[in-house]
Amino acid sequence: MIIFRESPQRRAIMENLSQRYDHPTAASIYSDMRKKLPSLSLGTVYRNLEILEQQGRIRSLRVDPKESRYDAQLTPHAHFICGHCGKIEDIPLTNGCCHFHQSLEKRGYRIEQRNVDLYGSCQSCNKRKIN
């Protein structure tokens, strides 16, 4: 495992991402960060997001094949993804939602990562379709 020294840029990117629940793209993080760090480059954001993911401090979501979205909230949760506007919302997982994981573990499987993604249309998009 490669150990990366903590840089001020990586620390700032992690701080920005950990305060967000909108699952931003690298471009969105870059746009937000440029206000505080005008010398920051988009390439630096991409490199640091990759390092943070390798370190297990964030995870990327492949909702769109063209770009990843990033999540620093690592507690077990599902994602609701709107297929119309692209909004991603965290959905807490209750104990009742994980019975199939427990069933697999009892049968000798080892679960290393849980990803539950639900796709549909969000409340805002549903309202626009009705009206």
The pLDDT of residue 73 = 92
**Which pLDDT score is estimated for 76?**
82
pLDDT of residue 112: 78
Q: Work out the number of other CB atoms within 10 angstroms of the CB of residue 51.
A: 18
Q: Catalogue all structural domains in the chain, each as residue range(s) with its CATH number.
A: 8-71 (1.10.10.10), 77-130 (3.30.1490.190)
Using CA atoms in the order 18, 21, 27, 30, what is the torsion angle rounded to 10 degrees? -40
Q: Dump pLDDT digits (tens) for 27-64.
A: 999 999 998 899 999 999 999 999 999 999 999 998 88
